[in-house]
Structure 1
Amino acid sequence: MNALVGGPLQAGPIDTALAPFYWFLTLWSQAMSWVAGATGLELLQYPFMHRAVLVGLCIGVMAPLIGTFLVHRQLALIGDALAHTAFAGVAVGLFLNAVLELSVSPYLTAVVVAMLSALLIELISEATDAYNDVSMAIVLSTGFALGTTLISINAGGLAVGVNQFLFGNLSTVSAENAAILLVLFGVIVTTVAVTRNQLLYVTFDETAAAVSGLSVTWYNRIMVMLTALVVVGAMQIMGVILVAAMLVVPVAGATQVSRSFTESLLVSVVLAELAVILGIGVAYYGEATAGGVIVLVAVAIYVAAVGIGRLQRRLGDDPALELDTIAADDGEATSD
C-alpha cells in the first residue's frame, strides 16, 4: 500500500501507526487521478502533486485557524521564531541520520524540537517577566544557531538535504510526511474545536479569563504548541523562511472585510485556500518555488481585501477597520 503513495516498501513502527493515513492518501491519489483525467490538468497527473495539493489544502485551514488567534493577541512573529527552531529540529534529524546512521524522519524531530521551543518561549516569559518578543528572540536565535552549527559540523552530508526545508519543495512531499501532516491537521482542528471558547476568552481579555477561573497559562501553552505544529506542517511546501507568512497574511486580509472573530476566521481560511491553490498552480507551471509564489499570491489577495474594505466603508457598510477592533463573538469579550 505504501508503494502506491510513494511510501517505503518495508513497513516500520511509524509506517504501521500511519497505515490508516496511507490508506487515505491512496484514495486521495485515485480521486486526483480521476480529476486529472476528467479535466486534463497536467499537474494532477503525478502522485507527488497529489500529496502536495493535499498538504496545501490542510495548510490553508490550519494556518489561519491558529493565525487568527495569534494576530489578535499580537503574537504574529511567534511563527517566525518557531520556524527557525523547526529548522533546528530538521537539522537534528538530518544530523542523526548522517552521523549515527539512524532512520528518523526530520519532520518528526522538527515537531519535537518546535513544541519544546514553544513551551520554552512561555517558560522564559513566565520565569523572567520578559515580554513575549524577548523570549521569542532568544528562542529564535538559539534555534537557528543550533541548526547552522549542526549543518557546519557535517556540511557535506546536510547542506543538500536542508535546502528543501529552507525554501520548500512540492516534489519532496513524501507519503510519510503527508501522513504526518494529516495527523497534525487532526490534532490542531480537534483541539481548537474543543477549546475554542476558552481560547477566544483568553485572546480578548486575559484578566477576565483568569478571574473567571480559566488557567490562562495553560491555554497560552496550548496556543504556542499548536502554532509549532502548524509551522512544522506548513514547512513542507512553504519552507522555513516563508512559513510564518501563512499565519499572518490571510488573517490580515480577512480583518479588512470582517466584523466578528468567527467571520474573520472563516474568511481567512477561504483566502488562505485561494492563495495555496493558485500558488501551487502558478509554481508548477512556472517552475518556481511554491512557498514564494503562495506568499506573493496571498499578499496580492491582501491588497485586494484592503481595497474591498475601503470600498465597503465608502458605501456605508463599515467592516472592522483595524486588527484590534474586531469584536469577540457572543459578547464574551472585546479587544482593547
Structure 2
Amino acid sequence: MTLPAGAAAVLGAVAASPPAPLQSGSALDPVLAPIYYLLDLWSLLMTALGDATGLELLQYGFMHRAILVGLCIGVMAPLIGTFLVHRQLALIGDALAHTAFAGVAVGLFLNGVLSLGVSPYLTAVVVAVLAALLIEVISEVTDAYNDVSMAIVLSTGFALGTVLISLNAGGLAVGINQYLFGNLSTVSAENAAILLVLFAVIVGTVALTRNQLLYVTFDETAAEVSGIPVNWYNRVMVMLTALVVVGAMQIMGVILVAAMLVVPVAGASQVSRSFGESLLVSVVLAELAVLLGIGAAYYGEATAGGVIVLVAVAIYALAVVAGKLREARGDDDAPELGGIDAEDDAATASD
C-alpha cells in the first residue's frame, strides 16, 4: 500500500530526527523522563505535520503541548462528566475547580515564601483530591445533600486561595491569572507530562471499574444490596473528577474548567440512544470543541479556554436542533438519560 505524500513526509521526518531528552529543570525530571521522551516524539510529529500541511500553529513547541493537553482533556472530561451528569452532580466540577485554585495558591505561596520549587499543579492535585473526599465525607457524616457539601467546600477553597494571595500579593496576584483563565503558552513540558500521568490514571481506572461505577450511578440501593461498596466507588468518582479538573485547568482556567465536564455530555444526550453511545459521542464533541477552539484562539489571539467553551456551547446548540429534528421525523424512541443501558451493565456489575 502506498502512503499519501503528506503522511510519508510526516513519518519520514519523525524517523530521521530521533528526539533528544527534554528537560524542564524540575526535581521531577528523573521520574518524568520517559514521558518527556514521548513529548519529544509528539513534538516532532506535530512539526512534520505542520511542514506537510503548512499550518503555522504546528510550528511552535508550546502549541504542540497545548494540542496534546487539549486532546487528553477532550477524552477525560466527558468520560467522567457522563457519570456525573447522570448522577446529577454536574456542579461538582465547579466546586473542585475552586478548590484546585486554592491548591495552586498553596503551591505559589510555598514557592514564593519558602522557595520550595514545587509545581503548583501538584499542589492543586493534592488539594483538589482532598476536597473531593471532603465533599463525600460531609455528605455521609451530616446527611446533608451533595449540593450543600459542594457549596461548603467551594467557598472554603476559594476563601483559602484569596487569603494566600493577599498574604503575598506581590508574587501571587500576577502568577495566578494564568490559572484563573488558562493560557496556551504556559503549558510547560512538566505540566504536560503530569497531565499525561493523570490521563493514564483516569482512563485506566474507569476502564477497570466501569460496570461498578455505572451500577452505582443508576441504582445505589441495588448496588449496595448486591455487595458493591457504594461509598468507596463514590469516592473514586469524585477523586477522578478532581484529577480531570486539575488537568483541564492548564488551558481552560479555573473559571471555565467545569464546562468541559458538562457541555459535551449535555450535547451527546440530545442525539444518543444508549449510555455507551452517549459516552462516545460526548468524547467526539469535546475533541471537536477543543481542536476548533485552540485553532480559533491561536489565530484570533483570544483566550483559549473561553473560545473552547463557546465552541462547545455552539456544538451543544446544534445537537439540540438535531435532536428536535429527529423527534419531528418521528424517530423519538431514544431513552431518557436515567435509563440508558442501565439494566444490562448493572447486571454485569453485580455478577
Q: Smaller-chain TM-score range?
A: over 0.9
Aligned: 1:140 with 2:124:
no
Match of 1:292 in 2: 306
Aligned length: 329
1:44-65 CA distance string (max 9 Å, x none) = 1000000000000000000000
1:62-108 CA distance string (max 9 Å, x none) = 00000000000000000000000000000000000000111000000
**CA-atom RMSD, angstroms?**
1.4
1:201-258 CA distance string (max 9 Å, x none) = 0000000000000000000000000000000000000000000000000000000011
Write out aligned runs for 1:178-327 (5 A): 178-318=192-332, 320=334, 322-327=336-341
Match of 1:75 in 2: 89
Aligned: 1:29 with 2:47:
no
8 Å Cα contact 2:136/2:235 also seen in 1: yes
8 Å Cα contact 1:256/1:322 also seen in 2: no
User: How far 1:15 sits from its partner (Å)?
Assistant: 1.0
Match of 1:156 in 2: 170
Letter in 1 for 2:98: H
8 Å Cα contact 1:256/1:319 also seen in 2: no
Cα distance between partner residues in 1 of 2:267 and 2:226:
33
Aligned: 1:8 with 2:24:
yes
Who wins on radius of gyration, i.e. which is larger? 2
Cα distance between partner residues in 2 of 1:51 and 1:322:
38
Letter in 1 for 2:346: E
8 Å Cα contact 1:260/1:326 also seen in 2: yes
8 Å Cα contact 1:48/1:171 also seen in 2: yes
Cα 1:163–1:325 shift into 2, 3 Å: same
The correspondence for 1:126, drawn from 140, 156, 161, is 140
Letter in 1 for 2:209: T
8 Å Cα contact 1:119/1:221 also seen in 2: yes
Cα distance between partner residues in 2 of 1:302 and 1:322:
17
8 Å Cα contact 2:20/2:37 also seen in 1: no
Match of 1:62 in 2: 76
Give the share of equivalent positions with the same residue, in percent.
Answer: 80
Cα distance between partner residues in 2 of 1:311 and 1:170:
37
Cα distance between partner residues in 2 of 1:24 and 1:171:
19
Could you say what secondary structure the match of 1:200 adopts? helix
8 Å Cα contact 2:22/2:40 also seen in 1: no
Letter in 2 for 1:274: L
Letter in 1 for 2:281: V
- TM-score, normalised via structure 2 length: 0.91
8 Å Cα contact 1:121/1:132 also seen in 2: yes
User: How far 1:144 sits from its partner (Å)?
Assistant: 0.2
Cα distance between partner residues in 2 of 1:80 and 1:138:
12
User: How far 1:317 sits from its partner (Å)?
Assistant: 1.9
Letter in 2 for 1:34: A
The correspondence for 2:54, drawn from 34, 40, 49, is 40
Letter in 2 for 1:244: A
Aligned: 1:99 with 2:123:
no
Cα distance between partner residues in 2 of 1:249 and 1:212:
33
8 Å Cα contact 1:111/1:228 also seen in 2: yes
Could you say what secondary structure the match of 2:115 adopts? coil
User: How far 1:328 sits from its partner (Å)?
Assistant: 1.9
Could you say what secondary structure the match of 1:18 adopts? helix
- Unaligned stretches of 5+ residues in structure 2: 1-18
1:117-170 CA distance string (max 9 Å, x none) = 000000000000000000000000000000000000100110111000000000
8 Å Cα contact 2:62/2:185 also seen in 1: yes
User: How far 1:322 sits from its partner (Å)?
Assistant: 4.7
Cα distance between partner residues in 1 of 2:55 and 2:331:
40
- Unaligned stretches of 5+ residues in structure 1: none
Cα distance between partner residues in 2 of 1:108 and 1:21:
16
